[in-house]
Amino acid sequence: MSMGETLNTGISNVRNVSRYTFAHGAIERLPELLKERRKGGNGSVIFVIDEFFRSRADTFSILPIASRDHVFFISTENEPTTDGIDQLADELRANDGANCSAIVGIGGGITLDTAKALSNLLTNPGSAADYQGWDLVRHAGVFKIGIPSLSGTGAEATRTCVMTNKATGLKLGMNSDHTVFDQLILDPDLTATVERSQYFYTGMDAWIHCMESLNGYYRNLIGDAFSQQAINLCREVFSHGDMMTEENRAKMMVASYLGGCAIATSYVGVVHPLSAGLSVVLGLHHCVANCIVMTAMEPFYPEGYLEYSDFLQTNRIEIPRNVCAELDDAGHRALYESTIVHEKPLTNALGDDFRKILTPDRVRELFEAM
């Protein structure tokens, strides 16, 4: 593989979200969308909701929750695990939830990924770990509606739901066409209460994975177009001075969706594998882990590193530093193993010989620089 060589992603038959509605106040359409779904099956709906909304009467009161429905409030303290998903699926199977008419996920990437994983498990046998990988899900899941309350991860648009398997130490997703949401409700009003730093961290996820894909070997013209437009919108938002105006929150929600569409036809690069290492070993959330990794990415993405630094300064965001300072040799070995396992994105960024570049010593240097 030579410098400048462009390779085909091998992704040729792409499924996107079937339908979406985008507007301020769009969540008010949920009752009518579920009314049609309740006519089939047993009429019950599974609501998978970020725990933040438990105390938000203004949002919670809009939700058309019936007596036969199942409601799960999802903690966002930790990212999804295969064991945690299995526990939820087992509870639903034991209470007739497997015969529901729809699943509704309301929240950020953690909640949306949980909803997608449950949809798959309720129509496919076995456990969540059985489906970590590419195209292992055989049967279409339960009809699912995604309602993001954070913008940036692209979880509302992607064909994956990412989980950590504590037994193997791997952070991988159910990459499948069956994982894609059937319906989205995109309502920028839901992001108005997001804490500023979290808004930045999550928004940067869209910018980072599009930046990585545009700097990779594996290219796809449609993916490039989605990535470029998402990056343009991110620039408008994070170079503005007030990233959370009503207009910028709408732009960021669109950027998140387009970024999710982009990643369906492309791959990420160096940032995401290193970020996965921080999540697996230190338990850091994906988006803040990405932002931490970006502070050490000047050797790999010099232009992106400079632009990212400008975003930090413009928005007065402080990134956690020295997160690996207390790790011993065993900890750094675990970081390396959790990083190097992500072959596709590392090949995309560095070529077939990525292991010669990212040696254990080099990876340790990068983590120590964070």
Predicted confidence (pLDDT) per residue in 61-106, tens digit: 889 999 889 999 999 988 899 999 999 999 999 987 778 999 999 9
Overall fold of domain 195-368: Dehydroquinate synthase-like, alpha domain (1.20.1090)
Q: Above 60 in pLDDT, residue 270?
A: yes
Residue 42 in this model has a pLDDT that exceeds 70 = no
Mean pLDDT, the chain, whole residue set: 93
Per-residue b or e along 284-315, where b marks 16 or more CB atoms closer than 10 Å to that residue's CB: bbbbbbbbbbbbbbeebbeebbebbeebbeeb
What are the domain boundaries of the chain? 19-191, 195-368
Decide: 270 and 212 in contact? Cβ < 8 Å: yes
pLDDT (0 to 100) of residue 178:
96
337 has a pLDDT exceeding 90: yes
State the pLDDT at residue 333.
97
> Phi/psi at 149 (nearest 5 deg)?
-110, 5
Per-residue model confidence (pLDDT) at position 96: 79
Q: Is the pTM of this model over 0.95?
A: no
pLDDT score of 4 more than 60: no
Backbone φ/ψ region at 242: left (φ over 0), alpha (ψ -120 to 50), beta: beta
Q: What percent of the chain stands above pLDDT 90?
A: 82
Distance of CA 291 to the CA centre of its chain: 14
Please tell me the distance from the alpha carbon of residue 68 to that of residue 151, in angstroms, as a whole number. 31
Quick one: pLDDT at residue 58?
76
Query: Is the pLDDT reported for residue 40 higher than 70?
Result: no
Angle at 290 between CA 285 and CA 294, to 5 degrees: 150
Q: Which tens digit of pLDDT belongs to each residue from 176-207?
A: 999 999 999 999 999 999 999 999 999 999 99
- Write out pLDDT tens, residues 137-174: 999 999 999 999 999 999 999 999 999 998 888 888 99
228-252 tens-digit pLDDT: 999 999 999 999 889 999 999 999 9
CATH of domain 19-191: 3.40.50.1970
* Cβ–Cβ under 8 Å, residues 271 and 290: yes
Helices (H) and strands (E) in the chain, counts: 14, 11
350 neighbors 270 (Cβ within 8 angstroms): yes
Amino acid in position 244: M
Q: Is the pLDDT reported for residue 3 higher than 60?
A: no
d(CA 192, CA 210): 24
* pLDDT band per the 50, 70, 90 thresholds, residue 255: very high
Q: What is the pLDDT of residue 9?
A: 73
Q: Confidence band (pLDDT; 50, 70, 90) for 269? A: very high
pLDDT for residue 225 is more than 60: yes
Taking only the tens place, the pLDDT of each residue in 279-309 is 999 999 999 999 999 999 999 999 999 999 9
Q: Check whether 131 has a pLDDT greater than 90.
A: yes
